[in-house]
Structure 1
């Protein structure tokens, strides 16, 4: 079906690209070398800076709680993460555990991770009862310029272990309103941290900003160093929040949770002491005004598509004017743009320029089997409450 959207202008596209590129140097710091229900489900896990089990980097006060869930710290460190007991798969917010395992995410393990795909079924797509705008024309994803730390510094990859194996999504460094210039927050999709209805929290969640900074090919990465793959290091999620809407309604195809498919991570470095924002030198504000698709103007989606014909090694982007997309008249309307990016781009930020500043306005959630478009949630009051809870409660830790 042909799109009824007006063609985007080259000027608008250039403005978005230029504004995002400028965020790479705006901060000047980096180098390449259970609260209210509306705030969603929050999960906590202290990790890392000594005072506990040195082998796994877990503070002493968490060892007993891990044991309550049948997690032996030493066994986890020595490979226990490989075998999951579904009966002990943790779903309550307070039960999120993500102990640092230094050296777990080696380059070869990252490159073998599979995409966390949410492919919409034809049945789901036809359930909107006329609320959705006509399907957009496909927009061919274009490769981001390298090095990524100069052109799209806030963007990176999210790795995690699920019962199905090692998986990958995309994410974006965002500002922390209560800790200016020192943010440890990452925006991604809910399905990149939690399985949704009937499932639980994923494990070994790590964010890698500017992954494969020089955009090297698979052959060139055969003997890649850790620095080439992860120029800013690995950042472990010690706190995570996603929406109750995703936890209660999310499914393998997005389901009723797709409209609430967003999450915020609080991360800390596997090694080092500076904040994520200081290290990367960039972070974006989040736009919680939830403009209508007609009012939003040009949007761009960034991410690391991993399903064919892509392989997850390089960053891509799509620019388009969004239309409305709805899975049901009783669910919030989502944004939809034409884009050929595939699974692996999930969680990647959608950006728009407001008063000359690039802001995150959504994230990739779902798409069709033929990979011609992407849909992402509108970020309104519920998303803002989740973000503010993370910033206020966990941001300074």
Structure 2
């Protein structure tokens, strides 16, 4: 299924269904630097008489961007001042960074203001046909639709790890869903977020999405659309806005992912490392929300799983992207091709925007764990499919954890 317009890209991993900072570290900084700027208008649109300034900081210590790093940014066609003043809207192929090593996501402060977050409703992916198997692999009968259940407010009480992902693509602002996951290198202090590959990278014919930001417990109090129009940023994002300073997805997604999943669907997953938009000392994302889910890369085979829950913020009709929903069902198998991993499939009426949302089941130790994420689903919104997380997914996860292990 599709998120409401998203991005993804990275190395080694598996993916499955689509729905719907210090970024300079991605360029080799030993310290995590965040490129910050000021957005000067609603939705981040700059006004002609505005003259925001840019600075490089690591938290609140005022660390400046070294000249060699500035030069490397410029080699990617990114001038810090021009970028924050609107150059990020240039989606010319030569400007759309594609390779795993090229990810950059400079923080533009207040770009994701309440109005822009509320209006971002486009998932990045297109729905798929109801019957997409036609393979020689293993596919179970299409599951009966399971009506998505609206979560009770405050969301943080029942699903504190869940949140909404915002990003920009050539067609405008988009949305997906995402989950806070544990970081082996920083027990109890994770800054890692799990989502779908198509929520960070456009796949075979595109590159990395821009302005990727995670909002845990988005609209925590379950406000109506009318109430959200008058809500403050604190009310909409009570735990803050966290920008991705690094993103990684599977090479299979980068090479084979498409608008409806394509050959990259079984590898449609991504891991982000995030940093708070506005300095909050040394407090991690996990400490901020109070928890993080472990990831199970060796979940039981389908016949042994009693149930899974898919979670997300569906944005395509009949939903509006502002509220958190959940589907619970016994998973089946979906094989797109005998040569690629079999995906999980659940009956669920969630639509685009729920893409990337975590699928939770009992892990090997019997405790709740993330075992997949929403990747694809049909326009009829009767089912969702997600990748089965194996060695490729673990490779992406470990790579992000190791990248920040000494920081």
CA RMSD in angstroms, aligned pairs only? 2.2
CA offsets 1:169-225 (integer angstroms, 9 cap, x no match)? 000000011110110000000000100002111111000000011010110111110
- The structural deviation recorded for 1:393 is 1.6
Matched, 1:293 2:299: no
Q: How far is 1:395 from its partner?
A: 4.4
Deviation at 1:281, TM superposition (A): 0.5
Distance (Å, rounded) in 1 between the aligned partners of 2:210 and 2:125: 19
The counterpart of 2:386, out of the listed 376, 380, 389, is 376
1:27-62 deviation line (CA, Å, top 9, x unaligned)? xxxxxxxxx96469x992554288xx9625465143
Q: Which residue of structure 2 aligns with residue 389 of structure 1?
A: 399
1:176 aligned partner = 183
Correspondence for 2:34 among 48, 53, 70: 48
- Other-structure match for 2:48: none
Q: How many residues align?
A: 359
Q: Distance in 2 between matches of 1:259 and 1:250?
A: 9
Consecutive unaligned residues of structure 2, counting only runs of 5 or more, are 1-9, 15-22, 37-51, 58-63
Match of 1:362, SS state, is: strand
The correspondence for 1:278, drawn from 287, 295, 299, is: 287
**Alpha-carbon distance between aligned partners in 1 of 2:13 and 2:385, rounded to the nearest angstrom:** 22
For 1:56 and 1:326, how far apart are their aligned partners in 2? 49
Where does residue 31 of structure 1 map in the other structure? none
Shift in alpha-carbon separation, 1:374–1:65, aligned structure 2, 3 A:
same
Out of 351, 354, 357, the residue aligned to residue 345 of structure 1 is 354
Q: Which runs of 5+ in 1 are unaligned?
A: 1-35
Instruction: Tell me the residue number matched to 1:365.
Output: 375
Moved more, 379-388 or 183-192: 379-388
For 1:309 and 1:209, locate their aligned partners in 2 and report how far apart those are by CA, in whole Å.
23
Name the CA distance, whole Å, in 2 between partners of 1:352 and 1:317: 13
The structure whose RCO (Cα within 8 Å, separation 6+) is larger is 2
TM-score when normalising by structure 1: 0.86
Task: Map Cα deviations across residues 229-281 of structure 1 (whole Å, 9 max, x no partner).
Answer: 10111101001110011111100000000000000000000111210001110
1:69-105 deviation digits (Å, cap 9, x = unpaired): 2222112112222332222211112211100111111
Q: Which moved more, 1:359-368 or 1:124-133?
A: 124-133
Q: Deviations over 1:119-170 (max 9, x none)?
A: 4543970432462100000000000111111111000011111111111000
